[in-house]
Amino acid sequence: MLPAGPCVGGGVSGLLADALPWAGDSRLAATAKAVTITRVQVQAKTAPAGCTTNAIVRLTDGTTPVNVTVSAAANDSGAISQNYAAGASLIVSVQTAAAGCTTSPADANVVTVQYRMQ
């Protein structure tokens, strides 16, 4: 669960182990209070190379997604402002699998999700 205290910012992280030429998901957290996601970062232990289609990692409550394309070892959404309601169940998934790679991305430390309480 994301912390419920009066914090003005924070971060959580999760892991998508193995290669990313597959699509799947992993529950990250349930929000105790409404939050604003301010950045999503994905670190791949094995960086992709030569992909015709890059993997896309998604953070979502099932309705409103934040997508990060995995095209290097370090990948970043940049500064964003995505609101999620209190009680939202956030899921991290490989939305689009990597394809046609000479080296497939693998062992993604998904995500550092930076947020602030609303």
pTM: 0.78
| Any domain includes 2 | no
Structural domain contains residue 4: no
CB 97 within 8 A of CB 1: no
Contact 47, 103 (CB under 8 A): yes
The answer to whether residue 82 is domain-embedded is: yes
Q: Which domain CATH number covers 64?
A: 2.60.120
Task: Give the structural domain span for 64.
Answer: 10-117
Q: Residue 5: inside a domain, yes or no?
A: no
How many domains is the chain built from?
1
Give the Å distances, CA to CA, from 62 to 6, 71, 88, 93: 26, 24, 9, 11
Asked whether residue 86 is domain-assigned, the answer is yes
The answer to whether 32 touches 89, Cβ cutoff 8 Å, is no
Closest to 85 (Cα-Cα) out of 114, 112, 60, 57: 60
| DSSP secondary structure letters along the chain | -B--SS-S-EEE---EEEESSS-EEEEEEEBSS-EEEEEEEEEEEE--BS-SB-EEEEEESSSSEEEEEE-SSEEE--S--EEE-TT-EEEEEEEE--BS-SB--EEEEEEEEEEEE-
pLDDT digits (tens, 9 = 90+) for 2-56: 333 333 344 444 544 444 444 455 656 677 888 899 998 888 888 999 999 999 9
Domain for residue 50, yes or no? Answer: yes
pLDDT at 114: 78
Tens of pLDDT, residues 74-84: 999 999 999 99
